[in-house]
A and B are shown apart, each in its own frame.
Chain A
C-alpha cells in the first residue's frame, strides 16, 4: 500500500496518483519530500534526510467556533524558556534516584500534579524581559546585526553595481508566447490569462487553462447529428440472412466432417468416371488420326488479320519476335510460335528473337533451331537471339533503345527499322509491356499470340482499330490451328483440334448432367 503524502489515503502498490485527491504519489519510484525535495522510498512516513513528516496529520476541525484560551493563572502561556532551568536537576527528582525511577513515580502521581522543574516553566516572563524583547524588535526595513554588510564588502558591492549600470543591462523582453507559459500564482487570474485554476503538479505546474482529460471523456457522442439510415429492401433481407447465420449455434463437428461411406464411394467413383471420359476424349482422336478439323475448322477474323500483317511484310525486312512464356503454357504457345515463325521464314524476313522470361529463351531456341534447319536459315545472318532480357518495364524499353545506342545487332540501326513486333505472351502483362513501352512510344506495328487465359484482357487492344494497337491476335491452341489452316501448313495444332473439340463437347455434357442432377436433387428435397 502507498499512503498519499497529501491526504494520507491508502492506495494500491504501483499507483502513481492518489485515488482520493488526485495528487501524485510517487516520483521516480519514491516519495519526494515537500521540504527538502529528497527522494524517499515508497511507503515511508517521514523523510529520511530531514525528518519531515510525509503524511500530513489529518485533523477534523470542530464545528463549534474556537474560543480563546482562558488564562486561569499567570504562566499558562509559555513565553520563553531559560536554558538553565529547562533541564531537571538531580534535586528536582525528589526521592527518585534515577530518571527511570522518576518516570515511574510520575506516572503514579495524579495528572494535575507537575514536577518541580516543570513548574518553573510556568513562570511568566518578568517585566524586564518583556521590555528587553520590545527593545530588540526590529523596525521595518532594518536588518539584524548578523545580516549587516561588513564594511570591507561595501566597496566591492558598490563597484559591481556601477559596472551593471555602465553596461546598461536592461530587462530582457519576453515574447508573448513565452509570457503565456509563465507559471501563474495561485489566486485570481491576471487579465488576458486563461481562466481556471493553475496546474499543481507535473510539467504544466502553474499554468492555467490546460484541458483536462475528464471533459473529453465525458463528452457524449453526438448521435443526434447522424443522418437517418435507410437501405433498400434487399439489404435488409441480406442482413437478416447474415444475422440468422451468425446466431445459429455451431453444429457439432462430428456431424460435419464424417460423410457417409456410400457418399464417399459415389463421389470417388464419379470423379474417376470424369477422368476416364476426358482421357478417352483426348486419346481416341489422336490414336484414330482423325482430321475433321483440318478440313472444316473456321478461321476467326483476328487470326486472319495477324496472318495478313505478316503476309504483307516485304522480303529482307526485320521482325522482332518476343517469346514471353514458360513451360506452364508451352502447350499453347509453342504451336503458335512454330506456325508464325515458320510463316515468317517462308517470307524470307530476318528475325531478332528475345524473351522477357528466362524459360522463354530456352523454349524458343528449340523452335528456332528446328525451323531454321527446315528453311535454311543461318544464325547471325538470317536470325539471331538476344536471349533473356531483364527489367520488366525497362526490358522492352532497353531493347528499343539498345538497337540504336548500344548497337546490340547490325540487323537494324534503330527500333524504327523494325517492320513488325510479333509477341507470344503466356500472360497479359507481357503484351502490355510491349504495347506501352515500345509500340505506343515508337509507333512500331505489332501483332500478338496469347494464351487462352490472357485473351479476354488483350482483345480490347486488338479491337482498338482507330489506333491499330494490335494488328492481329491469335488465341491459344485454337489460334495456332487457325493460323496453320490459314497458312496452308497443317501441323501439331491442327492435328490436336479433334481432341480439343471432343473434350470440349464432353465437358459441356458433363456440366449439363451435373446441373440437371443438382437441380433434380433439390426438387426431390422439396
Chain B
C-alpha cells in the first residue's frame, strides 16, 4: 500500500514539475520547494548518522582514552559554528584556514601528479601511421595535435599589434583553435541534450510503467 502511495506521490510531483512547460505556476514552485527542502533535510540526516555519530561521537564516548585526538576535529568543527555570528566569527578562522590549507595542498599535488603532467605527456603523440599503429590512429593524433596547438594559440593574448609573419602564423592557429573550440562546445551541448533526453525517457518509463502499468 505504501509503495502505491509513494508511486502516486512521485507521479504527481513529476507532472507538477513538467507543468512548468505551460508557465511558471504555484504547483511547480511547490514541487521545487519540496525538492530543495527534502534534499537539505536528507543531507543533514546523512551527515549526522553517517559521519558525526559513527566516526566521531561514538568513538569518543566508547573509548576516550584512545580516541582523544578526535577532540581536535570536534573543536575545529564547533569553532566553525561561530562563523554564524559576526562578532565572534574570528574564532572560526583557524578551522577555515585548516580546511583551505589541507584542501589546497591536496588539490595542487593531485593536479600536478594526476592531471597536468600525465596530460602533457599524453599530448606527445605520433602522427605517423607506422608508429601510431594505424592510419586512423595517426589521423586521430593529428586532430589532437592541431586542436591542442590551435586552442593554445587562441588564448595567446600577448600578441603584438603590428603585422609580420610571426603574428600572421599565430592568427592562423588562433582561427583554427576557435573552430576547434566551437566544435567542442557543440559536442558538449549535444551531450547535454542527450542527457536530458535520457532523463525524460526514464520519467516516461516511470509514468507509463510504474504508475499507469502500460509497460511491463
Identify B113's interface contact among A388, A392, A436, A466, CB under 8 A.
Answer: A436
Closest to A464 in B: B122
B-side contacts of A507, CB under 8 Å: 193, 197
For A452, what are the chain B residues with a Cβ–Cβ distance below 8 Å? 191-192, 194-195, 198
- A residues 422-450 near B (Cβ < 8 Å) are 432-433, 435-437, 439-441
Given the interface pairs A229-B161, A390-B47, A452-B192, the reply to whether A282 lies near B200 with Cβ below 8 Å is yes
Give every chain A residue within 8 A of B205 (Cβ-Cβ): 286, 492, 496
Q: 1/0 per position for A376-416, CB-CB distance to B under 8 A?
A: 00000000000110101110010000000000000000000
Task: Determine which residue in B39, B106, B215 has the highest number of CB atoms from chain A within 10 A of its CB, and name it.
Answer: B106
A278 to B102, CA, bound (A): 48
Residue of A nearest to B107 (CB): A393
Q: Give, as a whole number of angstroms, the nearest-CB distance from A433 to chain B.
A: 8
A467 to B118, CA, bound (A): 7
Closest 9 CB pairs of A and B: A436-B110, A436-B114, A331-B202, A440-B114, A477-B198, A393-B106, A331-B199, A452-B191, A464-B122
B208 touching A283 by the CB < 8 A rule? yes
Q: Judge whether A460 and B103 touch: CB under 8 Å.
A: no
Asked if A242 lies at the interface with its beta carbon under 8 angstroms from chain B, I say: no
Interface residues on B, range: 35 or more
A463 to B188, CA, bound (A): 18
Query: 26 interchain pairs (CB within 8 A)?
Result: A229-B161, A282-B200, A286-B208, A287-B215, A331-B195, A331-B202, A331-B203, A358-B43, A361-B50, A388-B46, A388-B50, A388-B51, A393-B102, A432-B115, A440-B114, A463-B122, A464-B118, A466-B121, A466-B122, A476-B191, A492-B205, A496-B198, A496-B201, A500-B198, A503-B197, A504-B194
* A476-B195 in contact (CB<8A): yes
Please count the residue pairs between chain A and chain B whose beta carbons lie under 8 angstroms apart in the complex. 149
List chain A residues, Cβ under 8 A from B200: 278, 282, 331, 503
Interface residues of A (CB under 8 A from B): 229-232, 275, 278, 282-283, 286-287, 289, 328-332, 358-359, 361-362, 387-388, 390, 392-394, 397, 432-433, 435-437, 439-441, 451-453, 455-456, 460-461, 463-467, 469, 475-478, 492, 496, 499-500, 503-504, 507
Kindly list chain A residues whose C-beta atoms are within 8 Å of the C-beta of B119.
460-461, 464
CB distance from B96 to the nearest CB of A (A): 14
List of A residues within 8 angstroms of B197 by Cβ? 282, 500, 503-504, 507
Q: Are A440 and B113 in contact (CB under 8 A)?
A: yes
Residue among B43, B110, B171, B214 with the most chain A CB within 10 A? B110
Which residues of A sit under 8 angstroms from B198, Cβ to Cβ? 331-332, 452, 476-477, 496, 500
With A230-B162, A440-B113, A460-B122 known, 19 other A-B pairs at CB within 8 A are A229-B161, A275-B21, A286-B204, A286-B208, A287-B208, A331-B200, A332-B198, A358-B42, A388-B46, A388-B51, A393-B102, A394-B106, A435-B115, A440-B114, A452-B195, A464-B118, A465-B122, A469-B114, A496-B201
Measured CB to CB, the closest approach of chain A to B136, in angstroms, equals 11
The residue that A499 contacts in the complex, of B21, B51, B195, B201, with Cβ under 8 A, is B201
Contact call A437/B114, Cβ cutoff below 8 A: yes
**Looking across the interface, which residue of chain A has its beta carbon closest to that of B50?**
A387
**Bound state CA distance, A499 and B203, in angstroms?**
12
In the complex, which of the residues B47, B111, B204 contacts A282, with contact meaning CB atoms closer than 8 Å?
B204
Contact of B195 among A451, A464, A469, A503 (CB under 8 A): A451
B residues in contact with A361, CB < 8 Å: 46, 50
Q: Which residue of B lies closest to A503 (CB)?
A: B197
The minimal Cβ–Cβ distance linking A285 to chain B, given in whole angstroms, is: 9
Residues from chain B with a CB closer than 8 A to the CB of A456 are 184, 187-188, 191
A475-B192 Cα distance, complex, nearest whole Å: 11
Residues in B with CB closer than 8 Å to A463 are 122, 144
Q: Which chain B residues (24-60) contact chain A, with CB distance < 8 Å?
A: 39, 42-43, 46-47, 50-51
Verify B47–A393 contact, CB threshold 8 A.
Answer: no
Closest-CB distance, A500 to chain B (whole angstroms) = 6
Once A435-B115, A440-B110, A469-B118 are accepted as A-B contacts, the answer to whether A362 and B191 lie under 8 Å apart by CB is: no
A394-B114 in contact given A388-B46, A451-B195, A452-B192 (Cβ < 8 Å):
no
Chain B residue with the shortest CB-CB distance to A480: B198
- A362 touching B192, Cβ below 8 Å: no
Q: Which residues of B contact A496 (CB under 8 A)?
A: 198, 201-202, 205
Please report the C-alpha to C-alpha distance between residue A449 and residue B106 in the assembled complex, in whole angstroms.
24
In chain B, residues 156-193, which have Cβ atoms closer than 8 Å to a Cβ of chain A?
161-162, 171, 184, 187-188, 191-193
Cα of A394 to Cα of B110 in the assembled complex, Å: 11
A371 to B51 Cα, complex, angstroms: 26
> Would you give the 0/1 interface string for B91-117, flagging 1 where the beta carbon is closer than 8 Å to chain A?
000000000001100110011011100
Closest CB in chain A relative to B110 CB, distance in Å: 3
Please determine whether A478 and B194 come into contact, CB atoms closer than 8 angstroms: yes
How far is B191's CA from A478's CA once the two chains are assembled, in angstroms?
11
Known interface pairs A287-B208, A390-B51, A432-B114; A282-B103 also in contact (CB < 8 Å): no
- How distant is the Cα of A278 from the Cα of B191 in the complex, in angstroms? 17
